[in-house]
Structure 1
Amino acid sequence: MYFDGAANHSGYGIGVLLISPHGDHIPRSVRLAFTDRHPATNNIVEYEAYSGEWKTRDVKLRPYHAYLELLVARFEDLRYTHLPRAQNQFADTLATLASMIDIPADATVHPLLIESRSAPAYCCLIDDMEIDDGLPWYHDIYHFLRLGVYPEAATAKDRRALRQLATRFVICGETLYRRSLDGILYYVLDRASADRVMREGSCGSLRTTYGGHMLARKIMRTGYFWLTMETDCCQFVRRCPECQIHGDLIHVPPSGVACMTSPWPFSWVEAASYARLTSSGVASFIRSHIICRYGVPHELISDRGVHFRAEVDTLVQRYGIRHHRSSAYRPQTNGAVEGRE
């Protein structure tokens, strides 16, 4: 049993989650409507454990503590475990739900049903609408080229799309071919034949260890075609164990890699000479020689020269760099040497 309580500006509520030995989840959410007569706090419905014993901090909790002692005798084995909110999210959500809503007394609330969807709603709608009639995907194209007829339920937009699609196909004898831009004819395959060709291309005599796009191009060079061959080949390569075993390893660094012009142990900012030091020149040097090559530093330490002000201050504020200035190094400035008369 997971239990939690919630008290906020909208009201007070408690949430309980019961889990049976078979794994059934039974949630229960209750709103406390007596708070106008008996003011409650968040501790009214919660306790804290110290040294294995239950103690109460507030006098208002003593009746609850006494009632809890009566309920303990009804259980054969009872153990209390304090869980942080991150591990008790279900009960915390139920308690918050009960405290945030105000249900009228005459309203009927049905049990709350929580479902889990593994795909977007439009994908489920497509699966429900598509009916497998056992015909190949090119059935409408073949009949349009052979007989010049449209499907019965085709709209004007569907007919226009079918006419445009049919211009890329040609019938030779009784066989349908796909005509490429350079005039090459590809034999059109149905779903079963396409699966057999993909297996032959990856595991048979046409065995290849390339990716899905390369497999699709190799099948086209062999002289076969179907409408979704690029997508089908990529999905087939992901499912094929041999393709994954013999495929190239993907080496990805665990973090972003910066371009280095010298080995890491010896990398340092190169010196630059200027005829006259200005704040704009120093800001340009920091931007081009430090930030662009090594990234944004955490902090910048400089002296108190005037060329480290103005545009340099604007630059460090823009990139969030901490700018620390060293103490004065002239004896007359820091008071180490006093003037003599």
Structure 2
Amino acid sequence: IFDGAVNLYGSGIGAVIVTPKGAHIPFTARLQFECTNNIAEYEACIMGIEEAIDLRIKNIDIYGDSALVINQIKGEWETRHAGLIPYRDYARRLLTFFNKVELHHIPRDENQMADALATLSSMYRVNRRNEIPTISIRCLERPAYVFATEEVVDDKPWFHDIKMFLQKQEYPPGASSKDKKTLRRLTSSFFLNDEVLYKRNFDMVLLRCVDKHEADLLMHEVHEGSFGTHPNGHTMAKKMLRAGYYWLTMESDCYKHARKCHKCQIYADKIHLPPTSLNVLSSPWPFSMWGIDMIGRIEPKASNGHRFILVAIDYFTKWVEAASYANVTKQVVVRFIKNHLICRYGVPNKIITDNGTNLNNKMMKDLCD
């Protein structure tokens, strides 16, 4: 892949050799002489060819976004500019070193890597000794802020701020006015008895608040303890509420605990159906198989009072027939099939419905017979 760039800063060329395994080998150079954009494209193409020859490559596919260079080297376009004829002849001589050569023109959007190399080399100032700064690309696996983040250890229970407010009317340090208002609203549903905090349920039953360690013990005991029946997460949460325990993330924690249970994963009943082969619904010819369904009720209703749309789709051509009605009764469906399907496209071979009472009834069977 090659590309050239001529801009206000100067001229640069870039080429990338992509191996069959997907490895990228970039090459770039800054042109110290005056040149046009077409000459820069030729220089980039020749540089890539020469590097491929040095790497002992025998089969090569050349891609570039310059239609002029590609088609002139292939011989499909005539080379009229006198300054491009030596470039064309030299490129053709270099291609004789390969066993197989294919040249392809690609859009500029697909040539971004070589274009970036050419633009970068045109901006760099290079002295006579070719001393240029080396660009090294590192691989960062995590965001930068991860390396600067300090671990915060919080060994306090989730209800610590609520308990302190009920005991001493103290707010957490650094709390805003909005945080203080939220805390006051939360504490209205809690009750403190000595050192034990309770949560008032909607039926005014007091539930004992537990910390993370106690919650883990409770979930283990309820799920797989002496009387545990390995219930699901919702059932576990209801059992602990009936037993008089509470914490904020009770239901989600119970759900996660049940999903991670090793015995449940091995011995639980499989609710998924076994894999079976798919039945392909294929129509042998146009308008032989139709699917019919109803859309509605639509609110607000149309100006003519219609609230439903009866739709029929041909499985072969995907042609759609539709009509709106105030009510879709079995008489309406039969009339729709006669007027919109049979009279227009002939008698269908199959009609597929969702077995609704207005789509699958005695009148429909008589029509099909």
SS for the counterpart of 1:177 is strand
- 1:174 to 2:157 alignment: no
Structure 2 matches for 1:26-175, cutoff 5 A? 29-34=26-31, 36=39, 39-40=42-43, 45=48, 53-54=58-59, 60=91, 95=114, 97-99=116-118, 104-106=123-125, 111-117=136-142, 128=149, 131-175=152-196
TM-score normalised over the length of structure 2: 0.48
Deviations 1:47-106 (CA, angstroms, capped at 9, x unpaired): 69xxx954799752755987x9xxxxxxxxxxxxxxxxxxxxxxx985564356566215
Deviations 1:296-324 (CA, angstroms, capped at 9, x unpaired): 54356xxxxxx779xx89xxxxxxxxxxx
Q: 1:129 to 1:219 in 2, by over 3 A?
A: farther
2:67 is matched with none
RMSD of the alignment, in Å?
5.1
SS for the counterpart of 2:174 is coil
SS for the counterpart of 2:42 is coil
2:301 is matched with none
Deviations 1:116-153 (CA, angstroms, capped at 9, x unpaired): 45xx999x69x947722321111111110111111121
Rounded Cα–Cα distance in structure 1 between residues aligned with 2:263 and 2:163: 36
Q: Which structure shows the bigger proportion of residues in strand conformation?
A: 2
Unaligned runs of 5+ in 2: 7-11, 32-36, 63-72, 74-89, 99-110, 126-131, 282-287, 293-308, 320-338, 346-369
Q: 1:96 to 1:185 in 2, by over 3 A?
A: farther
Q: 1:296 to 1:158 in 2, by over 3 A?
A: farther
SS for the counterpart of 1:112 is coil
Aligned residue identity for 1:98: L
Unaligned runs of 5+ in 1: 19-25, 69-91, 261-266, 272-286, 301-306, 314-341
1:192 is matched with 213
**Which residue, out of 254, 266, 274, partners 1:233?**
254
Q: Quote the offset at 1:159 in angstroms.
A: 0.8
Rounded Cα–Cα distance in structure 2 between residues aligned with 1:139 and 1:270: 62
TM-score normalised over the length of structure 1: 0.52
